[in-house]
Amino acid sequence: MNKLIIDTDPGVDDSMAIQFALASEEFHIMGITTVFGNVNIEQATINALRLLHLAARPDIPISKGASKPLQGEFLGGVPFVHGNDGQGNTWRPAGPLKPIGVSADEFIIEQVLRFPDQISIAALGPLTNLATALRKEPKIQDKVKEIVFMGGNAFCSGNATPAAEANILSDPDAADMVLGANWPLTMVGLDVTHKTILSRDVLDEIALFRSPSNDHVMEAYQFYQNFFMKVNKIDGTFVHDSSVIAYLIDPGLYKTVVSPVRVETQHGISRGKTWPSLGESDHEGAEVLEPWRNRPKIKICLDVKDRMVIQLIRQRLTR
Ligand code: BDR
Ligand code: CA
């Protein structure tokens, strides 16, 4: 079993991704770390705690993380996508669970050092906790098994702005730091999440599976689905955060390329854009351009067996 930490800003689709991981025997979930993003850090933490309570998994520690990006302030989240409570305005009571007294970055450091080469991290929100963990303890670079993050757009447009994807735009400085560190990273960005659609029919099927946590997530999905219907004109939702879990279960579902990636951190219209380098093979004998020089190559998911991903999600969430 893969020892997994889920770093998350729940978020309707984060909640489904957590459910998906909980329902998958491939993982031993060591903890959930929260980060601002879709909502503020207090609400994100409440949402994670409530979900574990509803899923009857009080044994999994939840650790509260960053409340704002490395530079600047939290800008208020995306209530039009996830609701004011981040859970589709379901406003369920918080539940009895409490976060542990260790911050998210300290928890990540502690676990990675305690279990060298064994901890995988699914990063489903802004990359701030990973950046501060790295800053506090650079040794974790060599000791983490892998990090798979939902974020970025290599060769397609963004979703938060024409240039940028929401998680990366929430903290471009953290993203540029995390993508520049020497650890095994895989980017599951809009290049593949926009090719993977959970249709209304499949969501209806998942909703037939009754459990307190599934009922909650499916109620939240009604709000989330309306957003995609209005904005993207699709009858269903793109699969963002659950794609990370699918990748961790079966990387063969994804086609990847490797490249160093820089993040635009300037405050112009392209802030938050993830830029892969041109690729050495395109430029035989040419030097790697300066901004990408000496940066590690990361895996970038570019294509996906989308129907198999949907099938996997459906299978795990209905048993
Ligand atoms: C990402 O942004 C958030 O709204 C979702 O939870 C996902 O992590 C998609 O761009
Ligand atoms: Ca998220």
Tell me the pLDDT tens digit for each residue of 71-120: 999 999 999 999 999 999 999 999 999 999 999 999 999 999 999 999 99
Q: What is the pLDDT of residue 281?
A: 55
Ligand nearest to the CA of 194: 1
Q: Predicted confidence band at 287 (pLDDT cuts at 50, 70, 90)?
A: confident
Q: What is the pLDDT of residue 319?
A: 87
Closest alpha carbon to 276 in 265, 286, 288:
288
Q: Which of 82, 240, 241, 306 is catalytic?
A: 240
60-64, 153-157, 162-166, 287-291: range with lowest mean pLDDT:
287-291
Report, as an integer, the average pLDDT of 224-244: 97
pLDDT, mean over the chain? 96
Q: Which of 9, 85, 176, 191 is catalytic?
A: 9
- Closest ligand 1 atom to Cα of 193: 9
CA of residue 287 to ligand 2 center, whole Å: 36
240 counts as catalytic: yes
171 counts as catalytic: no
Q: Given a cut of 80, is residue 32 above it in pLDDT? A: yes
User: Which residue among 75, 78, 124 has the greatest number of ligand 1 atoms within 8 angstroms of its CB, and so is best to mutate?
Assistant: 124
Cβ of 7 below 6 Å from ligand 1: no
Q: Predicted confidence band at 283 (pLDDT cuts at 50, 70, 90)?
A: low
Selected residue with higher pLDDT from 284 and 94: 94
- d(Cα 34, Cα 11) in Å, to the nearest integer? 11
CA of residue 133 to ligand 2 center, whole Å: 19
Pair 64, 34: CB distance under 8 Å = yes
Q: What is the pLDDT of residue 278?
A: 79
Q: What is the pLDDT of residue 144?
A: 98
CA of residue 125 to ligand 1 center, whole Å: 7
CB atoms within 10 A of CB 107: 25
Q: Given a cut of 60, is residue 282 above it in pLDDT? A: no
